[in-house]
Amino acid sequence: MADTSSNIALSVAQQPGGGAEMAPSPDVFVEVKKRKSANLGDLIFQGSTAFFAFLVFALVFLMAYEMFRGSTLSIDKFGWSFLWREIWDPVQDEYGALVFIFGTLVSSVLALVLALPLSIGVAVFLSELAPRWLEKPVSFLIELLAAIPSIVYGLWGIFVLVPWLRVSVEPMLAKNLKFLPLFKGAPYGFGMLAAGIILAIMVLPIITSISRDVLKAIPTAQREAALALGATRWETTRIILSDARSGILGATLLGLGRAIGETMAVTMVIGNRPEISSSLLAPGYTMASVIANEFTEATSDMYISSLIEIALILFAVTVLLNAAARIIVWSVTNKFKNA
């Protein structure tokens, strides 16, 4: 084992490209063959890890395929018009996703509007301002916020957030801002506003942690240069933020993806009424919550098929959003890493 020829053989086996130039003597060739057969374990091990990696690769496509197959019935019947049909009528077996797409979009955009400024503030605080002893625990608390299950947010939403909105916030909004169609109607508590707030709390940790990573990836020299020119702390931060803006865009897209697919918390507070309303106080319905509520009750094949098609739309949208976001975040952090 310890003789020199086997050591050479090892290095030849490790680097086939480099070994070819060495013009090895015949007995080394023999050793190379020996090593290869001894590396059968390597082959098997490499093969099995590659196989499982391939499974993950295949899984994503398998999911898409199974849902596509499951929704053929409704795809064939409604075609693309499924996306803009407003009707959702299990009695007449007529389905369209518009109401749910609307609800998902409004609640998610509302969540982003509420969460984005806050997230950027927290990210700047963590990466630019906070001393190390404060940064660590605050980061941990933000991470913990991401780890709390959706159902617990929903429970909290039903018993704490919704009553608070109904009693204090919504009457106040309706009174002072009644000239806006956004705040018309009776204060139920349950509705778009509640869903938007819950979603904002849930996407905040994602946007924050990725924005913080992007900000941290920007070279310190950039900050030092700004400070050396006499910039204040805020002016320096603004330069850093403008360097990081595409990364923050990526983080926002990831947050949007999470908001779009979030199910339990939203289902518990949005009111689940399939109506399009211009008021944020009115109940709504999202794609994820219609699947959660009606899947077990769906009796006809067309009903099930339509619900699966909604799942397929959700899948496609979140895959696209996540892919775009990941590519943006990667290219930003790599750019600064290589700089």
Partner 1 sequence: MKQGYSKSHYWRKSKSAITTFLCLLSALIAVVPLFLIFFYSLSQGIGALNLDFFIKMPKPVGESGGGMANAIVGTGILIGLGTLFGLPISLFTGIYLAEHKHGAFASVVRFLTDVLSGIPSIVVGVVAYIVVVLPMKHFSALAGGVALGILMIPTATRTTEEMLLLVPQSIREAGLALGIARWRVTLRVILPTALRGITTGILLALARAAGETAPLLFTALGNRFWSTEIGQPIASLSVFIYDYAKAPFSDWNRQAWAAAFVLIFFITILNVIFRFVTRGRYAGNGN
* CA–CA separation, 80 and 68 (whole Å): 14
Please identify which residue in 98, 318, 335, 336 interacts with partner 1, judged by CB under 8 A.
318
* CA–CA separation, 127 and 212 (whole Å): 6
- What one-character DSSP code corresponds to residue 79? G
- What is the size of the binding site for partner 1 (CB under 8 A)? 95
228 lies in the site for partner 1, by CB under 8 A = no
Q: Give the Cβ contact number of residue 13 at 10 Å.
A: 19
- State the nearest-atom distance from the C-beta of 184 to partner 1, in Å: 28
According to DSSP, the residues that pair with 89 across neighbouring strands are 94
Residue 50 or 180 with smaller CB distance to partner 1: 50
Residue 52 or 133 with smaller CB distance to partner 1: 52
* CA–CA separation, 29 and 35 (whole Å): 10
Residue 279 or 314 with smaller CB distance to partner 1: 314
Q: Give the Cβ contact number of residue 307 at 10 Å.
A: 24
Residue 29 or 140 with smaller CB distance to partner 1: 140
Residue closest to 221 by CA, chosen among 243, 245, 198: 243
- State the nearest-atom distance from the C-beta of 278 to partner 1, in Å: 27
- State the nearest-atom distance from the C-beta of 129 to partner 1, in Å: 6
Residues 23-82 that bind partner 1 (CB under 8 A): 38-39, 41-42, 44-46, 48-57, 59-60, 63, 66-67, 69-70
- State the nearest-atom distance from the C-beta of 25 to partner 1, in Å: 20
Residues 138-177 that bind partner 1 (CB under 8 A): 138, 140-145, 147-156, 158-160
Residue closest to 100 by CA, chosen among 73, 82, 114: 82
Residue 84 or 234 with smaller CB distance to partner 1: 234
CA dist list (Å): 39 to 10, 31, 33, 35, 50: 10, 12, 10, 6, 16
Amino acid, single-letter form, for residue 18: G
- State the nearest-atom distance from the C-beta of 51 to partner 1, in Å: 8
Angle formed at CA 290 by CA 284 and CA 291, multiple of 5 degrees: 160
Please identify which residue in 8, 307, 328, 332 interacts with partner 1, judged by CB under 8 A.
307
Residue 146 or 174 with smaller CB distance to partner 1: 146
Residues 113-142 that bind partner 1 (CB under 8 A): 117-119, 121-122, 124-126, 128-130, 138, 140-142
Phi, psi of 275 (to 5 degrees): -140, 145
Q: Stretches 178-186, 213-221, 308-316, 331-339: which one binds partner 1 (CB under 8 A)?
A: 308-316
Residue 268, Cβ density class (10 Å: 0-12 exposed, 13-18 middle, ≥19 buried): buried
Please identify which residue in 93, 322, 335, 336 interacts with partner 1, judged by CB under 8 A.
322
Q: Stretches 211-219, 244-252, 262-270, 274-282: which one binds partner 1 (CB under 8 A)?
A: 262-270
Q: 196-222 burial, b if ≥16 CB within 10 A, otherwise e?
A: bbbbbbbbbbbbbbbbbbbbbbbeeee
- What one-character DSSP code corresponds to residue 24? -
- State the nearest-atom distance from the C-beta of 181 to partner 1, in Å: 28
- State the nearest-atom distance from the C-beta of 296 to partner 1, in Å: 5
- State the nearest-atom distance from the C-beta of 274 to partner 1, in Å: 17
